[in-house]
């Protein structure tokens, strides 16, 4: 009998350790991403295996491109600084009133105190 010859058409399957070394990350990261089905893989013999195409796809999935500078509106102040610094200036919004402290409300209900 002759020894079985492995066809060159069969893909080379890489282990999670080999992929982690190639990508510069931890073996845990590769296995966890595969377990959560976030990266392509083959599950053979109870372990994760990766083809060269899988590795290329993993790199493509995590590739980031520079984006244009986000256009953020300038922060608006509710009251302009010049008006807020002037004493006696009329405010355009409603007047704010403080609420009574909770402990005062609790004491009023507990001891029947009217303020």
CA atoms in the 13 A half-sphere facing the CB of 52: 3
Q: Residue 43's beta-bridge partner residues?
A: 48
Contact call for residues 41 and 49 (beta carbons, < 8 A) = yes
Alpha helices for 1-115 (secondary structure H):
16-23, 27-35, 52-61, 81-85, 102-111
pTM higher than the cut 0.85: no
pLDDT along the chain (115 residues), means of 10: 71 95 96 96 95 96 84 68 57 81 80 66
What are the residue ranges spanned by the domains of the chain?
A: 14-61
pLDDT score of 102: 85
pLDDT score of 91: 62
Longest dimension (CA), the chain: 105
Q: Residue 42's beta-bridge partner residues?
A: 49
C-alpha span between 57 and 38 (Å, rounded): 11
């Amino acid at each position: 009998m002759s020894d079985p010859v492995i066809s060159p058409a069969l893909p080379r399957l890489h282990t999670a350790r080999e992929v982690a070394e190639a990508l510069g990350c931890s073996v845990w990261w590769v296995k966890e991403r595969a377990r959560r089905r976030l990266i392509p893989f083959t599950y053979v013999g109870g372990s994760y295996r990766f083809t060269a195409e899988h590795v290329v796809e993993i790199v493509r999935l995590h590739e980031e491109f520079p984006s244009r500078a986000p256009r953020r509106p300038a922060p608006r102040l509710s009251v302009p600084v010049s008006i807020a610094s002037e004493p006696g200036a009329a405010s355009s919004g409603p007047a704010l009133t403080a609420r009574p402290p909770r402990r005062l409300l609790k004491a009023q209900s507990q001891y029947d105190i009217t303020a």
